[in-house]
Amino acid sequence: MSATLQLSQVLSLAGKEFRDRFRNRWVLAVALVFTVFSLLITYFGAAVQGQIGPRSIELTIASLVSLVIYLIPLIALLLGFDAIVGERERGSLDLLLALPITRLELLLGKFLGLAGALTLSTVAGFALVAVLLFQQFSYAGLYHYLGFVVSSVLLGLAFLSLAMLLSVLARDRTRASGLAIALWFALVLVFDLLLLGLLVASGGELGGDAFAYLLLLNPADIFRILNIFSLDDVRRLYGLASIVPPALGQAWLMGGAMLVWIVGPLALASWRFKP
Half-sphere exposure of 20 (CA within 13 A, CB side): 13
Q: What is the pLDDT of residues 209-260, one digit of tens each?
A: 667 788 899 999 999 888 876 555 555 555 555 566 666 777 888 899 999 9
Average pLDDT over residues 129-150: 83
On the question of pLDDT at 152 being above 80, the answer is yes
The pLDDT value recorded for residue 3 is 44
Tens of pLDDT along 99-131?
A: 888 889 999 999 999 999 999 999 999 998 888
46 versus 91: which is more confidently predicted?
91
Helix, strand, coil percentages, rounded to 5, for the chain: 85, 0, 15
In the predicted model, what is the mean pLDDT of residues 78-82? Answer: 93
Structural contact between residues 41 and 63, judged by C-beta atoms closer than 8 angstroms:
yes
Burial of 162 (0-12, 13-18, 19+ CB in 10 A): buried
**Which pLDDT score, from 0 to 100, does residue 166 have?**
96
Please tell me the predicted confidence (pLDDT) of residue 59: 77
Q: Are 82 and 173 in contact (CB under 8 A)?
A: yes
Q: What is the mean pLDDT of residues 14-36?
A: 89
pLDDT range class, residue 75, cuts 50, 70, 90:
very high
Answer yes or no: is pLDDT of 4 > 50.
Answer: no
Enumerate residues 6+ apart whose C-beta is below 8 A from 159.
Answer: 72, 73, 76, 77, 184, 219
pTM of the model: 0.90
